[in-house]
Structure 1
Amino acid sequence: MVNEDEARDWNGETGRYWATHAEHYDAMLARLTPHLLDAAGIRPGDRVLDIGCGCGTTALLAAGRGARVLGADLSGPMLAVARERAAGRDGIRFDQADVQVHDFGAEVFDLALSRFGVMFFDDPLAAFTNVTRALRPGGRVAFLCWRELRENQHRALPLDVIGRYADTSGVTSPGPGMFSFARPEYLREVLTGAGLTGAGVDELREPVRLGADAASAADFLRHGAMFRAILARCPADTVERATAALTEALVPYQTPDGVWLESAAWLVTARKP
């Protein structure tokens, strides 16, 4: 694996946290996922590569539409959940693989899709060039990635609150991460450089569910990868005060159906000539 830092992270605490909270993340992204599936245009018999498949949600949904699916991810803990979820299902398998370098074969897949799994490549051009090679002529690409941090209330609001207690300056540093594909011109540059055409980069805004109530949402956020790393450098009493402030800040967004904040994503489509 050439994506060593990300492999270490997703096979460590970050991957274990996602695996443990797989259903929470699915509920969080529930209003975004259908847009991806509709854009992907999955047909019975399609061969599908799910990039950064995580705990297998989108792979299972694609298989439910009659596709034969290979889910690829760096994270062993998350793939263990995916395999457990898919037990007994035909037409679906999961490989631990670095999409930048893994040999998927040439002209194998009709579709490559991803739900927020493409932002963590150390070399995005290499990754998408490899994906293009694996697609059949006319094969499609469809994925979701996040727009700028400041357009994503579900990250910007907690960051501002925690920033009163801790140094948050490294959150948007260059390199792999949640917002690495935030700029549409960069997205198009990578896709075109990888040999894909007709790139569509469409704005998608949907609320995301962070928890059942303000306290559970604050706890979920503080232990997630972004804020865990920030708060790990703080004394225990500072963490407690930051968490209390975050809980208070989330109270106005609490509804009978949970805590909902706004999100902003790109829905990206392209095709291999």
Structure 2
Amino acid sequence: MFDYDSELARHHERLLEALDVRPGDRVLDVGCGTGLTTRDAARAASVGSALGIDVSGPMLERARRQAEAEGLGNVDFVQGDAQAHPLPPEYFSLGVSRFGTMFFSDPAVAFANIGRALRPGARFVQLVWQAADRQEWHTSIRTALAGRHASASTGDDPFTLADPDDVAEVLTTAGFTAVDVVDVGEPVWYGPDADHARTAVLQLRMAKDWLAALDAASAERALDRLCATLDAHDTGDGVWFDSRAWLVGARRV
């Protein structure tokens, strides 16, 4: 399983700083993955609680194991799609998502459902990717594996909330106010060296999809290009690529 927590460590720090969890908060983590944000929120909400929701059973199983290992008794996880899952109404005092909201089939419906679970005036803080051409990790790997003229994304599109005006509009329609969008530029980490980074990249679905479209000889050349790209980004202190995100804050009306 790809290690998104290590990849996004710099972004994670920025998100927690903006989130500012208080001891009595009840936190909802949307698209929690393996639950790092949920567990960190639970630690900060020492007399409150944190609930993580995600569609991935394997990721949630890892999240539960880690929470148990860390002795966190105020954290829970539920498998479901936050767009439609029946969350308790007006229960949570704070909502968060670390790159977990870009895949909704109907964002307005999804954010409205999330909003109903938040108390009036509660904050919702999320990180979403900016446009694909602003992501060195995406453009460099795509060029190496699929060529410059490959489609910008495969499968689920992680850049659906890249336009801040669209984000503000959909949140306002869903019942949020005071939408604030902040530009965040932080590098992402793919491994301690190029060899580890190659193994990590090849676990990504986008990489698998691009390679699957090639014949054997072309795939071999693509892997050679990938190795060269990763070598070029090996700083001696890990393999890093530039990235840009939006840190989006809003309040439930």
Name the TM-score, length of structure 1 as normaliser: 0.87
3-state SS of 1:44 partner: coil
Using the aligned pairs only, state the percent identity: 42
For the Cα contact (< 8 Å) 1:172–1:179, is it kept in 2? Answer: no
**Paired amino acid for 2:44:** R
Provide the C-alpha distance between the structure 1 equivalents of 2:242 and 2:92, rounded to a whole number of angstroms: 34
| 1:32 has 2:14 as partner | no
Q: Displacement, 1:177? A: 2.0
Which residue in 1 is equivalent to 2:169? 189
Check if 1:222 corresponds to 2:205: no
Q: Is the 8 A contact 1:112 1:142 kept in 2?
A: yes
SS at match of 1:178: coil
Shift of 1:234: 2.0
Contact 2:233 2:240 in 1 (8 A): yes
Q: Which residue of 2 aligns with 1:147?
A: 130
Gaps of 5+ in 2: none
The aligned amino acid for 1:202 is: V
Conserved? CA contact 1:219–1:243, under 8 Å? no
- Of stretches 255-264 and 190-199 in structure 1, the one that deviates more from structure 2 is 255-264
The 2-side partners of 1:215 and 1:106 are apart by: 47
Where does residue 121 of structure 2 map in the other structure? 138
- Aligned partner of 2:52 in structure 1 is 71
Q: After TM superposition, which residue ranges in structure 1, 4 or more long, deviate above 3 angstroms?
A: none
Aligned twin of 2:34: 55
Q: Report if the CA contact (8 A) 1:48-1:69 is conserved.
A: yes
Worse overlay, 35-44 or 219-228: 219-228
Q: Report the equivalent of 1:253.
A: 233
C-alpha distance in 2 between matches for 1:113 and 1:60 = 12
Q: State whether structure 2 residue 21 is matched by structure 1 residue 42.
A: yes
Q: Hey, what does 1:116 align to over in structure 2?
A: 99
- Determine the C-alpha separation between the residues in 2 that align with 1:186 and 1:222: 32
TM-score normalised over the length of structure 2? 0.93
Counterpart position of 1:129: 112
1:238 aligned residue (218, 232, 250): 218
For 1:126, the aligned partner's letter is: V
How far the C-alpha of 1:219 sits from its partner, in A, is 3.0
What is the distance in 2 between the residues matched to 1:219 and 1:84? Answer: 24
CA 1:222–1:264 in 2, change beyond 3 Å: closer, same or farther? same
State the partner residue of 1:209: 189
Q: Which amino acid aligns with 1:181?
A: L
Q: How many angstroms does 1:36 deviate by? A: 0.8
- Select 1:81's aligned residue among 50, 55, 62: 62
Q: What amino acid maps onto 1:142 in structure 2?
A: V
1:160 aligned residue (136, 143, 147):
143
Q: Which amino acid aligns with 2:72?
A: R
SS of the residue corresponding to residue 86 of structure 1 reads helix
User: Any unmatched runs of 5+ in structure 1?
Assistant: 1-19
